Structure 1
Amino acid sequence: MSKLNSSDFKRYSKFVDGLARKLTKFYYSKLNRTFKVSNKLRGKGFDPVTTSDKAFEKFIKKEIGKRFPDHQVIGEEFGKKKTKSDFTWVIDPIDGTRSYVIGNPTWSNLISLNYKGNPVIGLANYPVLKKHYFNASDKVAYVVDQRKKRKIKVNKKILFKNIKMSAAFHGMLSLNKQKKIPKILKLMQFPCADALSYSHLAEGKVDVVIQCGNKIWDIHPLIPIIKAAGGVVSTWKNADAVKGGNIVASVNNNIHNKILKMLRPITK
């Protein structure tokens, strides 16, 4: 696994911390108004994109370009900028576009910095909630809530019988498959709100998050935050979450392995 040295961590975490504040300011000054919605799937389903998604991505790319012009960039809406750099920024300008469309405040700006393909710095910014999460090393993560910054940790000591689980299948798991995992269904007792659920796990508010069909920009920014807060994250088949797909995040290895075992009937 490729890692940054301490000075690089400091440099890049300071940048994403500042970027979060700029993004929230940008939202309230430019985007907190009427927007247009279109459907990427055009009659084959519903995958909304708004004019705000595109405006956010352009803004984020501009900010990255000013500081790190040689870095590669992958954005959900505008694709990839290729260079020879080992550093790649992965951008989801609005994670939770459906929430954004209906006025639910849980949507976020997700950004990761990858070094040699490995997510090392993550940012999850929630403009309406006025809070953001990021990691400052591979062992330290923070939430900045109403401008107050504090370290966060997962709830490692929770007993399995007491876990709080946030889970959603996003219409990607058939009813027949759901019937094969009754223990998981029974544990699905807490709301799942896109990236906010992963952020809540890192903050110690929930103990397991299960989601379907995460793209790389959905999960890369959360991986370093979850791990720095002491959590575990993988696919349902226990592969590296960097590949995206069906994802499970947990507060410790013991709970993670139990959840993976419960999911096994639909991962064979």
Structure 2
Amino acid sequence: MDQFNSKNYSIYANFLNKLAKDLTRYYYSKLNRTFKVSNKLKGKGYDPVTTSDKAFEKFIRSKINNKFSNHQVIGEEFGHKKSKSNFTWVIDPIDGTRSFVIGNPTWSNLISLNYKDKPILGLANFPVLKKHYLNYSDKIAYVFENGKRKKISVNKKATFKDVKVSAAFHGWLSLNKQKKIPKILKLMQFPCSDALSYSHLAEGRVDIVIQCSNKIWDIHPLIPIVKAAGGYISTWDNKDAINAGNILVSSNKAIHNKFLKLLKPVSK
């Protein structure tokens, strides 16, 4: 089977929809309490990990293993479980750990299902906000909130003149490099909240999201959601976002191309 059988979308989407609810329940029953924080970079910067990150990932892995035991799994905290399956689950147990540590509600659980390394389904679950985003095919994505689901779509009519830009460099882009993109800096009107910004673009609330140094677990779960909602996504040098790294997401092709040009001085 060279291509993913689209008839199977619902099997995996329904699994992820239930998992989102299970993760929110798990957070409130087990993890909404004191946790320990350590710094992965130890003196070379700040990249926090908490005991909750590890607990979430173990929980997600157990759910996947119970249902799809032969599938591969790649997680931020516990590495790669390999098999001969064409299916791989990619997990970021807490995307936005910095937000989690200080009590901002914008952190999420991110999970993608990849077929032959290509993300086909994505879940972005926000336990504190009590909502989650999930695509059900390559053309349909929903936000689930207050017991209801609503189909989402990017703002296809966005123009460069009125563009809403959410961007952050989180210390990854040096000040000297930032000076090379003054137009981008001027356009950064809205705060960037990790996966929530990508989700807001898919919902039509913002038109451009620019982020630095995404790992595969940061971006793979968002790729299918953004694409199903009609968005454009690539690296800053216009490569496939599957490669991760510096990411640009846009609500239409015209402004995507415009921002690729603006980012050119720092996209090498």
What band does the TM-score fall into relative to the shorter chain? Answer: over 0.9
RMSD, aligned CA: 0.8
* Displacement of 1:245: 0.2
Aligned partner of 1:58 in structure 2 is 58
- TM-score after normalising by structure 2: 0.98
Aligned partner of 2:221 in structure 1 is 221
Q: Is the 8 A contact 1:131 1:147 kept in 2?
A: no
CA separation in 2, counterparts of 1:110 and 1:27?
Answer: 14
Aligned partner of 2:198 in structure 1 is 198
Q: Is the 8 A contact 1:35 1:51 kept in 2?
A: yes
Please give the secondary structure, in 2, of the residue aligned with 1:83. Answer: coil
Unaligned runs of 5+ in 2: none
- TM-score after normalising by structure 1: 0.98
Aligned partner of 1:17 in structure 2 is 17
Aligned partner of 2:80 in structure 1 is 80
Aligned partner of 2:121 in structure 1 is 121
Aligned partner of 1:172 in structure 2 is 172
- CA deviations over 1:195-216 (Å, ceiling 9, x no partner): 0000000000000000000000
Is residue 25 of structure 2 the alignment partner of residue 7 of structure 1? no
Q: Is the 8 A contact 2:158 2:252 kept in 1?
A: no
Aligned partner of 1:106 in structure 2 is 106
Aligned partner of 2:153 in structure 1 is 153
CA separation in 2, counterparts of 1:100 and 1:3?
Answer: 38
Please give the secondary structure, in 2, of the residue aligned with 1:45. Answer: coil
CA separation in 1, counterparts of 2:40 and 2:174?
Answer: 23
Residue type matched to 1:177 in 2? K
Aligned partner of 2:134 in structure 1 is 134
CA separation in 2, counterparts of 1:247 and 1:6?
Answer: 27
Aligned partner of 1:257 in structure 2 is 257
Aligned partner of 1:209 in structure 2 is 209
CA separation in 2, counterparts of 1:125 and 1:210?
Answer: 21
* Displacement of 1:267: 1.9
Unaligned runs of 5+ in 1: none
Please give the secondary structure, in 1, of the residue aligned with 2:199. Answer: helix
Residue type matched to 1:66 in 2? N
* Displacement of 1:158: 1.5
CA separation in 2, counterparts of 1:192 and 1:163?
Answer: 15
CA separation in 2, counterparts of 1:147 and 1:55?
Answer: 26
* Displacement of 1:247: 0.2
